[in-house]
Amino acid sequence: MSSSTIQTRQRLVLFAIENVAWPLFIIIYLILGFIKPIMFSPTYFLYILYLTIPLGFAIIAQAICLIGGVLDLSIGSIVGFSAMLSGLILKEYSNLIPSSLSLLLPLLIGILCGMFNGFFIGFFRLSPFIVTLATMMVFQGLKIIISGGFTIPAGYLPELYLLPGSDLTISITSFIVISAAVWFFLKYTRKGIHIYVIGGDQNVAYMMGIDPRWMLFLIFALSGLFSGVSALFYTGFNRSVPITLGNEILFPSFAAAIIGGISLRGGRGSIINAVGGALLLGVIEAFLVTFAISPEARIVGYGFMVLIAILFNQFRESLRDSILRRI
Amino acid sequence: MKTSNEQRIGETPLLELRNIHKFYGKIHALKGVDFRIYEGEIVGLIGDNGAGKSTLVKIIAGVVNRDEGEIYYKGKKIDIRTVKDARRLGIEIAFQEMTLIDSLDVGLNIFLGRELVNTSFPFILDYKTMYTKSREILNNLGLKVADNPRREVRFLSGGERQGIVVARSMLFKSKLVILDEPTRNLSVAGVRMVLDFIRSLKKEAIACIFISHTLHHVYDVADRIVLLSRGEKLLDVPKQNYTLEELENMILQTTFSSRSFYE
């Protein structure tokens, strides 16, 4: 009887360790709430959620890559580039494109950018680090060139195009639905599980008849797709496409995915927890904004946050291993 | 070269390889090897490290592509270029170290690359059936890990890891099973289990290539012994005609004469 109680307790501890992003989110929210009681109001909570969503999609993109054992440095650039290109196309040709289809435009551009990465990484076996470092600069530069140095204001964009990102209810609902769909895809479909397999060991995957080339291509295409979704929601959220869009996404995308327990070694982690990591980051961000911390200081903060997240994750993984070994 | 073959007159081999060459850069890993295996036959493939054993079976399994030579399946000339090609022919590889994903659980590892899907929604994984079948088959093998098919593979012992690989080939009724050192890391009971498994394959007319460093492990179960050394087939003899000692002497002689040829 006592051994089963120990087992139950161990399982509870294990559950807490695996999903630590959520309790951490709640604890930090409470602490910050006591400092600034306005944070406890439901509207404020929804507002934080809403603030986090555009970044949340980029975090989903990074999480998929990390589960697949690769990393994507170009996510922020793809977000900025697809928001800008899509905005410009709509500005010039809005009369030719039905506004319902306009919603798909940034997704399409994002997915093409991701496929470009995936093509070189999958089929030429180039290092994801180098390829995405290169395309990070390519897409960043292209974004600035095509923009001509100007922000695209809301007046040039169809109202329906701005709706998902600017409406709180639609924004939150689509984020929940899309996160759930990605979670389901990764855990309950063959292709999804194969992303975990590729993240575990590409050679084993090959030996077992799973083609790493196509899987890597798929992983980066998905990363591009969700970067495109992020672009759509950023555009609506800002009600414009500023030239700086996407510049501050890369680091938080890593930080949230790692805080959410997605191992840098690949093959481990859950999207649900990456979303928890995103919310945690959102609370901290909102707090920094309300306390009027300068953007420069926030960048320093993000740098340390990534470092702390990696250390934290390493500690968490070894703790988890030591419990699992005993069960 | 000393070769004597067991003739199964009038029978077409299940799989036949002719004049197989393989180069790794400048290294000539296989130098025109002929190999064949009949339905339900157990071939013990032996040789030192670097003899070409694993290159040969990897060619059969579609993991490595040959540079020269032909492959025949039931007498028909075919090509094996990918693991999927091999699996379509019912060839199952059971390389212990190379076919497990440490971070995934036992059930998923058993079904790796061939996950079961829900019958009415064929895009959804059927975890329940996968875990039930895993539990059954591991129970049959007498492995304790059968209690917990959700355990991550990296926490298993060498014997249990081997058990997963063996379970795989039992589950997917294959035509030809390639076992790479299946008795390594196993306890006495584990070794007996694997040998029983190999015999049970024979009963179901499943052929088996059993790779080992030493003759001792394969002698008990093999119908035929094939010896590779430095990319060449030095010996290919039916076991029944020879005692263990006679075979050992033959191996010593052939390897010795081939060594002196080089040195």
d(CA A127, CA A199): 14
Per CB-CB distance under 8 Å, the chain B contacts of A187 are: 125
CA distance B156 to B148: 11
For residue A102, CA distances in Å to A70, A91, A96, A163, B134 come to 31, 11, 10, 12, 48
Q: Are strands B42-46 and B224-229 parallel, antiparallel or unpaired?
A: parallel
Evaluate whether B177 touches B209 at the Cβ level (below 8 Å).
yes
pLDDT at B3: 39
| Residues A198 and A121 sit within 8 Å (Cβ to Cβ) | no
Q: If pLDDT is split at 50, 70 and 90, which confidence band does B124 have?
A: very high
How many residues would you count in chain A?
327
Say yes or no for a CB contact (<8 Å) between B87 and A189. no
Q: What band does A4 get if pLDDT is binned at 50, 70 and 90?
A: low
pLDDT at position A108: 98
For residue A323, what is the nearest residue in chain B, using CA coordinates? B155
Which residues of chain A are within 8 Å of residue B114 when distances are taken between CB atoms?
A: 209
Alpha-helix runs per DSSP H in A201-294: 202-207, 212-238, 250-259, 271-290
- Smallest Cβ–Cβ distance between A207 and the set B99, B152, B155 belongs to B99
Q: Is A303 helix (H, G, I), strand (E, B) or coil?
A: helix
DSSP labels, A89-127: HHHHHTTTS-HHHHTTHHHHHHHHHHHHHHIIIIIS---
In this structure, of A24-28, A216-220, B128-132, the range with the lowest mean pLDDT score is A24-28
Going along B63-206, which residue ranges are E strands? 68-73, 76-78, 91-95, 176-180
Nearest CB partner across the interface for A210, out of B95, B103, B113: B113
- pTM recorded for the entire structure: 0.87
Q: Minimal Cα–Cα distance from A162 to chain B, Å?
A: 34
* Arithmetic mean of pLDDT, B145-165: 84
3-state helix, strand, coil in chain B (%, to 5): 35, 25, 35
Average pLDDT (A84-92) is 95
Q: Tell whether the model's pLDDT for residue A1 goes beyond 90.
A: no
Q: Any chain A CB within 8 A of the CB of B97?
A: no
- ipTM rounded to 2 decimals: 0.87
Q: Is the pLDDT of residue A221 over 50?
A: yes
Reported as type and span, the H/E element at residue B255 is: helix B244-262
Question: What mean pLDDT is reported for chain B?
Answer: 84
Q: Is the pLDDT of residue A10 over 90?
A: no
Cβ-defined contact of B101 to A197 (cutoff 8 Å): yes
Distance in angstroms (rounded) separating the CA atoms of residues A110 and A107: 5
- Copy the structure tokens of residue B188: 């006495």
Bridge partners, B125 (sequence order): B117
Please tell me the distance from the alpha carbon of residue B149 to that of residue B108, in angstroms, as a whole number: 9
Give Cβ neighbours of residue B241 (< 8 Å, ≥ 6 apart).
B4
The residue assigned the tokens 């975990």 is A196
> What's the mean pLDDT in B75-101?
85
| Rounded Cα gap, residues A249 and B24, in angstroms | 45
Cross-chain Cβ contact B104/A197 below 8 Å: yes
As annotated, the residues of chain B forming the CATH 3.40.50.300 domain(s) are 1-90+209-263
Is the Cβ–Cβ distance between B221 and B42 less than 8 Å?
yes
How far apart (Å, rounded) are the C-alpha atoms in residues A5 and B262?
A: 67
Q: What distance lies between CA A68 and its chain's CA centroid?
A: 14
CA distance A187 to chain B (A): 8
Which of A193, A204, A263 is the closest to B98 by Cβ?
A: A204
Q: In this structure, which amino acid lies at residue B170?
A: M
| Residues in chain A whose Cβ is within 8 Å of chain B | 187-190, 193-194, 196-197, 199-201, 203-210, 263, 265-268, 324-325
- Name the residue among B100, B113, B124 with its Cβ closest to that of A189: B124
Distance of alpha carbon B227 from alpha carbon A80, whole angstroms? 62
Answer yes or no: is pLDDT of A233 > 60: yes
Question: Which domains occur in chain A, in start order?
Answer: 2-326 (1.10.3470)
Burial of B185 (0-12, 13-18, 19+ CB in 10 A): middle
Tokens of B42: 């157990």
- Is domain B1-90+209-263 given the CATH code 3.10.150.10 in the classification? no
* B9-40 pLDDT per residue, tens: 668 999 999 999 999 988 999 999 999 999 99
Q: What is the DSSP pairing of strand B224-229 with strand B232-238?
A: antiparallel
Structure tokens at A72: 């994507």
What is the largest distance, in Å, between two alpha-carbon atoms of chain A? 72
pLDDT class of A5 with cuts at 50, 70, 90 = low
The pLDDT value given to residue A17: 83
Cα gap A189→B71, rounded to integer Å: 35
**Cβ-Cβ contacts under 8 Å, B151 against chain A:** 324
**Interior CA angle at B234 toward B232 and B235, to 5°?**
135
- Tell me chain B's radius of gyration from C-alpha atoms: 19
Instruction: Tell me how far apart the alpha carbons of residues B135 and B138 are, in angstroms, rounded to a whole number.
Output: 5
Chain A residue with CA closest to B150: the answer is A324
For residue A308, what are the CA distances in angstroms to A71, A301, A313, B134? 18, 10, 8, 40
pLDDT, tens digit, 9 for 90 and up, residues A257-301: 888 888 888 898 999 999 999 998 888 888 787 778 888 888 888
Closest CA to A50 of A299, A279, A295, A288: A279
Do the Cβ atoms of B103 and A199 come within 8 Å? Answer: yes
Tell me if residue B218 falls in helix, strand or coil. helix
Residue B249: CB atoms within 10 Å: 12
